[in-house]
Structure 1
């Protein structure tokens, strides 16, 4: 099986059988090898003893977490190239797993110039069969969204992705996720809030008791494609505001078996939690139904699916622009006593003398 050199790079891509052609490897000057597949331990020393070797145990499946290996693989390849070496990246066929790792390297080198798709087109110039599976392309998009960092383990984008994977696996088994696997956004450090602050922050309150429930940074935007969905109502507003998980939702998401509603009880709740249900106002004297949740997802009336779905019903909450209390009262439309009003410039009309 042929190995192909990536244009402009001292990096080659191939399948596993290329490792048997020692003459070709020597002719190309290969010094480092990245293996992206599950190897037979008994064959590793015999096959790779002549090279600096980096192995990634991974299957070519959509749900394989290859994303976790991108930083280390990129670091290995970068170090090899900067030292004047030549790197062979291979998997079983040189089609999906090895291609994904090579794309990750190219993205890391030029994060502002390339996208996963444009990097894939570069690889196809030398190896037309390159085709990462859909799961790997999604992971490459996340890696690019994060800015191709040296470490992804604590990045909020990666943490949210892991949380969604746990939810999907649990739902596939007909169960709600475990409380320990849910990422409550309002418990995360401030610097982890990756969503840019909008020009005007919005806050959401319970319509019945005025209890604050969420603000803009916890809201999840979703695509409102009414034109291409026959079930969507034309010219209608979305009926729900979808949120990331927040700690006040815990009693609704993970109700205790004895029916008590203390936070400590829910933190140690046992038994299966419901897959769907109502979201209840956290004010103990209110208890109003403010929305609903469904771990398996909900279809908004705009036609978009949100998975998992934790939605506040717009009919049961008030949504308003957050007032900036740092602004002077006059800027908020409040009339101030004469002695407290700022002096106005005299424009010659005489009004400034009143």
Structure 2
């Protein structure tokens, strides 16, 4: 059959040849047609229908995500008007299936995920199979909450930035600075709490806060591999972060001539090629001018974490060089109180207790984290 109805909906999927089957179109009461392909079918074939054209190719680097909201609104308008809607591409396999899945997710975000929505489409269209990158975009759309406004969503803008960074890295170049999203500049008022909890990452040497919850990049958010759940665990050697303002002198040393000493520190750690003024990879140093400890590394081209996950771009602090503390938001003003910390705190406290019994005192920065008197607001120190 040239077109197939998706179970439970007056929504049909097919290839471009389905437009020639006038009898089937009439029987299905098709009033709206979505064409998801770059080629231009004969205009006579879409005459008499409300028509939406989405000009994309079935390739891995195509941005189909940006069209999901428009397609959803068009499909819904056709169904609300009592007609049937046909979504077609060249073969009715990849692009059209992705658009149909996006619509199903938007309608039933609590009951479906991209895999279950694909299975629903396959019940009547067995060949349905969006390409790998379209499936990643569908997972991202699902994780975004299937919004009506996709292109202004921070997750979409971050994804776009990552794609441009990957393209630059594939050419052996660091990205341009205006491509990189410095997250703390874009959401400066975020308190960082999720579920009433706030994670803080501090330089182990000077206790400077380096990042809080919204600026941590979980492994399941990377741009290489889609995943329903994060595989990140305490055994990972690095904690990956989104780009932050304090990283500028390391990521783009030539952009800040007033910080020459830190620029040299970043250049010393290059592991990849540098093009122009920006290194492709290098070290991250603590932004505290009295500290400037080596706290991690970055690689625009990506790197594989010790847990086996590939992360692109890779901007991470080493667990051996930072302390991670979990805190709990206690009131609406955003004040926080200590909830728990990593095993690092327990290790330090244990060492402190043992050495204390022998009359030996640890240096100030290694004493009990739970009693740190230099606590600072995370929002004021990123």
TM-score range, shorter chain: 0.7 to 0.9
Post-superposition offset of 1:281: 1.6
What corresponds to 1:15 in structure 2?
Answer: 15
Aligned mate of 1:206, from 203, 206, 221: 203
1:41-80 equivalences under 5 Å are 45-80=43-78
User: Which structure's CA Rg is the greater one?
Assistant: 1
Written as runs of structure 1 = structure 2, the 5 A alignment for 1:271-282 is: 271-282=276-287
CA distance in 2, matches of 1:258, 1:109: 48
Q: What is the CA–CA distance in structure 2 between the aligned matches of 1:24 and 1:242, rounded to whole Å?
A: 53
Shift of 1:191: 7.2
2: distance between equivalents of 1:26 and 1:301?
A: 58
Task: Show structure 2 runs of 5+ residues with no match.
Answer: 221-232, 264-274, 339-369, 372-382
- With 79-88 and 180-189 compared, the bigger mean Cα shift is at 180-189
Deviation at 1:50, TM superposition (A): 1.2
Give 1:154-165 correspondences, 5 Å limit.
Answer: 154-165=152-163
Structure 1 residue 116: Cα displacement: 1.1
Offset, 1:24: 2.7
> Which range moved further: 77-86 or 213-222?
213-222
Structure-2 separation of matches of 1:85 and 1:159: 35
Contact 1:257 1:271 in 2 (8 A): no
Q: Sort the Cα spacing of 1:283 and 1:155 in 2 relative to 1 into closer, same or farther, 3 A.
A: same
- Indicate if the aligned counterparts of 1:77 and 1:87 stay in contact, CA closer than 8 A: yes
Alpha-carbon separation, structure 2, partners of 1:327 and 1:52: 55
The aligned residue for residue 272 of structure 2 is none
Q: How far apart in 2 are the matches of 1:208 and 1:109?
A: 50
- What is the DSSP-based 3-state SS (H/G/I as helix, E as strand, rest coil) of the residue aligned with 1:245? coil
The aligned residue for residue 341 of structure 1 is none
Look up the match of 2:244. 246
Pick from 169, 177, 183: which aligns with 1:171?
169
Seen in structure 2, the aligned counterparts of structure 1 residues 328 and 129 have a Cα distance that, compared at 3 Å, is closer
Distance 1:107 1:322, change over 3 A: closer
Aligned to 1:299: 304
Shift of 1:99: 0.6
How far the C-alpha of 1:44 sits from its partner, in A, is 5.0
Q: Identify if the C-alpha distance between structure 1 residues 116 and 239 changes in structure 2 by more than 3 Å, giving closer, same or farther.
A: closer
Contact between 2:304 and 2:310, CA under 8 Å: does it hold in 1? yes
Does the CA-based 8 Å contact 1:292-1:312 persist in structure 2?
Answer: yes
Aligned counterpart in structure 2 of residue 92 of structure 1, from 79, 87, 90: 90
> How many residue pairs are counted as aligned between the two chains?
312
| 1:105-116 → structure 2 map (5 Å cutoff) | 105-116=103-114
- Please, what TM-score do these two structures have when normalized by structure 1? 0.80
Residue deviations 1:249-274 (CA, integer Å, cap 9, x gap): 01100110795428xx9xxxx93411
The worse-fitting range, judged by mean Cα deviation, of 155-164 and 282-291 is: 282-291
- Residue 287 (structure 1) shift: 2.4
Per-residue CA deviations over 1:330-354 (Å, capped at 9, x if unaligned) read xxx99xxxxxxxxxxxxxxxxxxxx
CA distance in 2, matches of 1:204, 1:16: 53
Report deviation, 1:321.
3.9
Q: Per the alignment, do residues 175 and 4 of structure 1 end up closer, same or farther by CA in structure 2, a change over 3 Å counting?
A: same
**Equivalent-residue separation in structure 2 for 1:122 and 1:239 (angstroms):** 40
Equivalent residue for 2:377? none
TM-score (normalised: structure 2): 0.74
Question: Secondary structure of the equivalent of 2:253?
Answer: coil
Structure 1 partner of 2:31: 31
Q: 2:213 aligns with which of 201, 211, 216?
A: 216
Structure-2 change in CA distance of 1:38 and 1:192 (3 Å): farther
Q: Tell me how far apart the structure 2 counterparts of residues 277 and 290 of structure 1 sit (CA, whole Å).
A: 11
Query: Is this contact kept in 2: 1:240–1:313, CA < 8 A?
Result: yes
| 1:131/1:208 CA distance change after superposition, 3 Å | same
RMSD of the alignment, in Å? 2.9
Q: What displacement does 1:35 show?
A: 0.1
